C-alpha cells in the first residue's frame, strides 16, 4: 500500500451535474498500519468529504480519522478561505470527495448555504439518508460506477440557483483572478457594497474580499505547480502587486514561504489536488 493511500479522481458524466461538480475523488487504504498526516489549502472549489466506518474528530485546525468499530457515516463540508487544515489518517479508511465548482453546491440545495452550514469546516447533514445510501451502494463497484451513482443522486437533487447578482459577481472575480475592486463589482452588478456582502455571506459563507483573496491564492498555487515558473512569474500571472505581496499572502495562509512549501506539494489524481504530506 502506498504511503499516501489509493487516490482516484473521476469526472462527472452527467451534463447537468458536470456544470456544477468538477469531479469526484476516492481516497482509500486497506492497510491497518497506515499512518500519515497531510495538509490541504484554501480552494474556491469547495469539497463535500465523506468518511465511511471512521471515527472523525474535528478541531479548529483540522481532523483526525481512525477506524471505527461501528457503521458510521460522516459528511464534512469546507469553505476554507484563509488557512490550511491538517488531516491525520490512521488505519484503514474509505473516503469520498465531491468537489464543487464555484457556487456548485448551491444548485443542489433549496435554501441559502448559510442556513445549513457553519464555516469554515463542519459536518454537513443536509442531503440526509438518501446521500448516505448512495455512497454506501456505490462502495463495492468500480470507480466509474461509483461516480455514475453519485451523478444519479445529484441529478435527482438538482434545484437550480436563481441569484443573478451573486453569479455575476463570482464570475467577474474568477475572470479577473480576484483583482476586481468591490466598487467595480457594485457597478457591474447594480447593487451596493452592503448588499454584495450580505449576498456573499448568505450564499458563499465568505465576504467579497475573502473570496477575492481565495481565488487569487488558489490560482497562484495551481499555477506554481506547473513546471518552469519562478515566484516572479507566479506573482505576475496571479495579478499580485509584486513578488513580495504574493509571498506575504502565501505565508499568511500556509504559515510557510512559497520557497519552503511549493516543492513539497504532491498532486493526487488527475485534477488540481495538491496536498502536503509529512515526510
What are the residue ranges in the chain where pLDDT is below 70? 1-3, 138-140, 227-228, 270, 274-279
Which CATH number describes the domain made up of 164-266? 1.10.10.60
3-class SS at 165? helix
Strands (E), the chain: 6-11, 21-29, 35-40, 47-52, 54-59, 62-67, 73-78, 85-90, 93-100, 121-123, 266-268, 273-277
Euclidean distance between CA atoms 29 and 38, whole angstroms: 15
Identical fold for domains 6-156 and 164-266, yes or no, is no
Q: What pLDDT does residue 81 have?
A: 73
Q: At residue 60, what are phi and psi to the nearest 5 degrees?
A: -65, -20
The CATH architecture to which 6-156 belongs is: Sandwich (2.60)
Q: What pLDDT does residue 152 have?
A: 96
Q: What pLDDT does residue 279 have?
A: 53
- Measuring CA to CA, how many Å separate 202 from each of 100, 112, 190, 210? 17, 6, 18, 14
> Which grid coordinates are listed for 250?
502565501
Write down the domain spans for the chain.
6-156, 164-266
What are the residues whose beta carbons fall under 8 Å from the beta carbon of 82, sequence distance 6 or more? 42, 120, 210, 213, 214, 252, 253
CA angle 113, 117, 120 (to 5 degrees): 110
Q: What pLDDT does residue 271 have?
A: 73
Q: In terms of DSSP bridges, do strands 85-90 and 35-40 run parallel, antiparallel, or are they unpaired?
A: antiparallel
Q: Among 41, 102, 49, 100, which Cα is nearest to 73's?
A: 49
- Positive or negative CA dihedral for 114, 205, 120, 105? positive
184-203: pLDDT as tens digits = 999 999 999 999 999 999 99
Q: What pLDDT does residue 227 have?
A: 62
106-115: pLDDT as tens digits = 999 999 999 9
Amino acid at each position: 500500500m502506498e504511503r499516501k493511500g489509493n487516490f482516484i479522481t473521476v469526472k462527472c458524466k452527467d451534463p447537468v451535474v458536470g456544470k456544477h461538480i468538477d469531479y469526484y475523488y476516492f481516497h482509500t487504504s486497506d492497510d491497518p498500519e497506515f499512518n500519515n498526516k497531510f495538509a490541504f489549502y484554501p480552494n474556491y472549489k469547495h469539497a463535500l468529504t465523506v468518511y465511511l466506518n471512521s471515527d472523525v474528530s474535528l478541531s479548529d485546525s483540522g481532523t483526525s480519522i481512525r477506524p471505527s468499530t461501528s457503521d458510521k457515516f460522516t459528511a464534512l463540508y469546507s469553505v476554507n478561505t484563509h488557512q490550511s487544515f491538517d488531516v491525520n489518517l490512521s488505519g484503514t479508511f474509505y473516503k469520498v470527495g465531491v468537489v464543487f465548482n464555484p457556487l456548485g453546491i448551491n444548485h443542489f440545495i433549496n435554501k441559502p448555504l448559510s442556513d445549513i452550514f457553519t464555516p469554515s469546516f463542519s459536518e454537513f447533514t443536509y442531503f440526509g439518508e438518501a446521500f448516505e445510501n448512495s455512497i454506501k451502494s456505490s462502495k463495492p463497484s468500480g470507480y466509474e460506477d461509483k461516480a455514475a451513482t453519485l451523478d444519479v443522486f445529484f441529478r435527482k437533487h438538482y434545484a437550480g440557483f436563481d441569484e443573478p447578482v451573486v453569479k455575476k459577481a463570482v464570475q467577474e472575480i474568477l475572470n479577473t483572478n480576484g483583482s476586481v475592486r468591490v466598487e467595480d463589482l457594485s457597478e457591474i452588478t447594480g447593487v451596493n457594497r452592503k448588499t454584495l456582502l450580505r449576498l456573499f455571506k448568505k450564499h458563499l459563507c465568505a465576504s467579497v474580499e475573502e473570496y477575492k483573496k481565495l481565488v487569487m491564492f488558489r490560482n497562484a498555487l495551481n499555477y506554481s505547480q506547473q513546471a518552469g515558473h519562478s515566484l516572479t512569474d507566479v506573482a505576475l500571472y496571479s495579478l499580485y502587486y509584486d513578488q513580495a505581496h504574493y509571498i506575504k499572502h502565501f505565508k499568511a495562509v500556509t504559515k510557510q514561504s512559497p520557497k519552503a512549501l511549493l516543492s513539497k506539494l504532491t498532486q493526487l489524481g488527475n485534477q488540481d489536488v495538491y496536498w502536503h504530506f509529512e515526510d
